A and B are shown apart, each in its own frame.
Chain A
């Protein structure tokens, strides 16, 4: 290894390696921040219900919004949807979520009106 260290190829390789390490360090930081955010969102959601200080209909809207925010943290930061090369996965998930929303609305409507 030692006698190759001065060749230009190795220098390029080492440079790439340092960049990769920096990118991973950055990624770890994002993961930690998103973990703290998700913990906070969870605590806020539980507290909104627990404390009983907010009116019920507003509390439901509020915690549903918190859930959606939390899911975006999961999908984009932890499941790496924000990274390059995720166009098809985003289409797959987006169509899944679209059909899911229609399904939930239809089933609830069917049961309520019957």
Chain B
């Protein structure tokens, strides 16, 4: 069977994302990549934890962080993680329209999260907390900014993936792609769980 052929309910495999060798390789490779990403973020977290109190003349974390904003951002990202897992459930049932719908919701929630983050950063810069203001500033923007860049990459990824495959249905070739995006998106949420805990909540108690 051609991997680009639209799957029907009759020939739909139990695990369309791993039904081809390419799919299996992508699945394994992507998990190893996520293991590497964990280490990458660990370097940024370690640096931030070491430098978070060195704010020089700039505002301290306790002074500038606003928990209500962070709480809303957390809820947005958490919900988007749920909608992407719903999309994976649709994938397993060969329901392509519902998959597209859930991924669009995921995209919108991700974009809203990015909007909040940009607003937050602009606010901080006005308060005198910038990338060059102190070691705390550099470590903060590198860590949180790197996560934000991952979110940006994710929303661009899902947008192109949906646009390119809009009329193709679910095929053995695009099922692994959808599945891996969902994994990536959950991982981005996992990193955020540590950011809101280590950066924002711990920043409030010194």
Contacts and interface: CB of A to CB of B under 8 A. Distances in A.
A, B from the same assembly: yes
Interface of A: 20, 24, 27-28, 31, 35, 38-39, 42, 45-46, 48-50, 56, 59-60, 63-64, 66-67, 70-71, 74-75, 78-79, 85, 88-89, 92-93, 95-97, 99-101, 103-108, 110-112
A24 B93 contact: yes
Q: Which of A20, A67, A79, A103 has the most CB of B within 10 A?
A: A79
Interface in B63-104: 67, 71, 74-75, 78, 81-82, 85-86, 89, 92-93
A22 B186 CA distance: 24
Contact of B39 (A45, A88, A99, A108): A99
Nearest to A32: B82
Interchain residue pairs A-B with the least CB separation, the first 7: A107-B46, A111-B50, A96-B35, A100-B42, A89-B31, A96-B38, A92-B35
B69 to A, nearest CB: 12
Interface string B25-51: 001100110111111011101110111
B50 A108 contact: yes
B42 A78 contact: no
Given A39-B75, A42-B71, A92-B32, 12 more contacts: A31-B82, A42-B74, A64-B197, A85-B15, A88-B31, A92-B34, A92-B35, A96-B37, A96-B39, A97-B38, A104-B42, A112-B50
A113 to B, nearest CB: 10
A108 B46 contact: yes
A64 B202 CA distance: 9
20 contacts: A42-B74, A42-B78, A46-B67, A60-B205, A63-B197, A63-B202, A66-B197, A71-B193, A71-B194, A74-B189, A88-B31, A89-B27, A89-B31, A92-B35, A96-B35, A96-B37, A104-B42, A107-B43, A107-B46, A107-B50
Interface residues of B, number: 49
Given A99-B42, A103-B43, A111-B50, A20 B186 contact: no
Contacts of A24: 89, 92-93
Nearest to A55: B205
A17 to B, nearest CB: 9
B190 interface: yes
A108 B201 contact: no
B180 to A, nearest CB: 11
Interface string B166-206: 00000000000000000100110110011011100110111
B189 to A, nearest CB: 6
Contact of A100 (B18, B28, B41, B196): B41
A59 B38 contact: no
Given A63-B197, A79-B186, A100-B41, A107 B49 contact: yes
A93 B34 contact: yes
Contacts of A35: 78, 82
